[in-house]
Structure 1
Amino acid sequence: MHVLVVYESLWGNTEQVARAVADKLGSVGTVDVVDSDAAPITVDGYDLLVVGGPTHAFSMTRAATRAEAVKSQSALHEPARGIREWLNLLGRPSAAIPAIAFDTRVDKPRMPGSAAKAAKHELRSMGFGTTVKQETFRVHGYEGPLLDGELERASAWADEVIAALGLGSRADR
């Protein structure tokens, strides 16, 4: 099992979630964790794709929302290529592989929209298997930190993914 985890992170919260998910998925195979700026534009050779990013303006970020986050919210990092742009560059998979999506979102005020839901829809339209429900992880304010227990929830969600996709552990294989 070879897993690709692609994340976009402005304050580091989404990266933390991506790494927690990757750590758990490491129990079933090799995991490559890369930010959206460095992500390959093919998934050939991978057996599972994980995509995560922050929710901005009710969906995946855009160049303008990332720039605004840096300007008005002092985001630490402004990706040149977010998950939206990366998905637009990504070629269709040569074989049907499963893909899962997650996002990070401010806890209060609760806002509608989801980067994960939008990413899942895009992945499905590209031919990826998207049977596993997307997940949201909450942060305090725009910059975070993550709410208490969110990294543990990310690990538990990865366990649910393993079970839902029938991946089992290395020991089971």
Structure 2
Amino acid sequence: MSTLVVHESHWGNTRQVAEAIAEGLLAGAAGPVTVVDVGAAPSPLPADVDLLVVGGPTHAFSMSRATTRQDAHRQGAEPGHEAVGIREWLGSLPVGEVRPAVATFDTRVTQVRRLPGSAARAAAKLAGRHHVGEVVDTASFYVDDSPGPLADGELDRARSWGLALASRTR
């Protein structure tokens, strides 16, 4: 099984979660795992991808948009992420013969833990509408504030989720 983990990260928190998920996938003997920033993500998907894991920050109760990415940059986020987010990348994937299992995740601020809206759920819906593959799971991971840090225990929880994904999709 080959896994591609695509992340959109403005402050580095979502990237850390993506890397921890990849560690869990590897521990679960999920085969090769590639972690890539959405700006460098392949389109179309490589033919050998059996599991696609996609994650990004929740902005305004959903996946980021060009305007919310620009706002994040103005607030001090890492430069270079304004043009393409997971919304645009998922929407650009051509319908093809490669239809991997899909898992989505997001990072969100702990204070809005119970508010509606989630980049992970929105990405799952978009993946389904674009026939990317069957969505097998979604998860949210929490940061103390937009710039971070991740809340205590979230990287361990991300590793555990990756391990669970590996066992579920083998």
TM-score by length of 2: 0.91
Partner residue, 1:161: 165
How far 1:58 sits from its partner (Å)?
Answer: 0.7
CA RMSD in angstroms, aligned pairs only:
1.3
User: Equivalent residues in 2 for 1:33-72 (5 A)?
Assistant: 33-43=35-45, 44-71=47-74
Partner residue, 1:170: none
Residue pair 2:49, 2:98 contacting (<8 A) in 1 also:
no
How far 1:97 sits from its partner (Å)?
Answer: 1.7
Residue pair 1:87, 1:122 contacting (<8 A) in 2 also:
yes
Instruction: Give the unaligned 5+ runs of structure 1.
Output: 168-173
Partner residue, 1:21: 21
How far 1:136 sits from its partner (Å)?
Answer: 0.1
Partner residue, 2:148: 144
Matched-pair identity in %? 48
Task: Report the AA paired with residue 89 of structure 1.
Answer: S
Q: Aligned residue pairs: how many? A: 164
- For residues 91-134 of structure 1, the C-alpha deviation after alignment (integer angstroms, 9 at most, x for no partner) is 1241432010000000114432100000001111222111x230
Instruction: Give the unaligned 5+ runs of structure 2.
Output: none
Partner residue, 2:109: 106
Task: Evaluate the alpha carbon distance shift between residue 76 and residue 95 of structure 1 in structure 2; reply closer, same or farther with a 3 A threshold.
Answer: closer
TM-score by length of 1: 0.89
4+ residue stretches of structure 1 with deviation over 6 A? Answer: none
Task: Report the AA paired with residue 34 of structure 1.
Answer: V
